[in-house]
Amino acid sequence: MDTTTSIFLIISVIIQIIVFITVILLVVSLIKIIKSLSVRIDSLQKDFDDFKVKIEPGIEDSIVLIKKVNRIADVVENNIHKVEEVTDKFKNFSEEIVDFGSRIKERIEPPVLDTIITISAVYKGLKVFFDKLKNQDRTKSQEENFLFDKSVKNDEPQSEEKKDTKEEEIEDINKELNEVRKKLEEMKKV
């Protein structure tokens, strides 16, 4: 038994040596893999640091840009509010001007129209009066002819049409003068 035990013992020692060598090889290979992984991690860390250095100014510029955009948006919003206020004020002002114009028109229009009508009536009356005077100067004889008298005296025989026309003219003049008188009385009341 001695030989078998010794053989087993030798085989066992050989197996242990092989296992130890394998474990040592595994540990060495793990160390190499860890070193390689460490180098890669260091490289990745260096790349990340470079990227961080490069991106930090971009991030800072982005932050500054965002702040500027926010300020511009605030200014635009304030200006929009100011424009709305100015528009509202202008709208109110224009409405007040329109109201003021309407009030002035309501107060001034009737007297102005009355004055225009009166002036027109006076003009027409004066025109008829002077036309009548011109016509009388032409047909005037030695006798007196009264301007507003319906019975016109004239030595010349007149046709019935001429008498009617003259009477109508006199009536028209009297009507227009009455209108002028009424308008003047109305103006005195105002």
Quote the Cα angle for 171-176-182, to 5°: 125
What's the whole-model pTM score?
0.37
Whole-angstrom distance, CA of residue 177 vs CA of residue 137: 22
CA distance readout (Å), 58 to 34, 47, 61, 73, 129: 35, 17, 5, 22, 99
Residues 6+ apart with CB under 8 A from 173: 125, 128, 129, 132, 148
Residue 190 has a pLDDT of 63
Residue 153 lies in a domain: no
Q: Which of 60, 68, 174, 52 is nearest to 125 (CA)?
A: 174
- Structure confidence by residue, pLDDT tens digits, 144-178: 444 444 444 445 555 666 667 778 888 888 888 88
Domains of the chain: total: 1
- Structure confidence by residue, pLDDT tens digits, 3-42: 888 888 899 999 999 999 999 999 999 999 999 999 999 9
Residue 11 lies in a domain: no
Residue 36 lies in a domain: no
Whole-angstrom distance, CA of residue 44 vs CA of residue 38: 10
Whole-angstrom distance, CA of residue 190 vs CA of residue 182: 13
Residue 82 lies in a domain: no
Residue 64 lies in a domain: no
Assess contact for 137 and 178: CB atoms under 8 A.
Answer: no
Pick the range with the lowest mean pLDDT from 18-32, 48-62, 82-96, 157-171: 157-171
Domain ranges, residue 176 = 108-145+159-189
Residue 6 lies in a domain: no
Q: How far is CA 106 from the centre of its chain?
A: 30
Residue 182 lies in a domain: yes
Whether pLDDT at 128 is above 90: no
Residue 112 lies in a domain: yes
Q: Which of 160, 159, 139, 136 is nearest to 147 (CA)?
A: 136
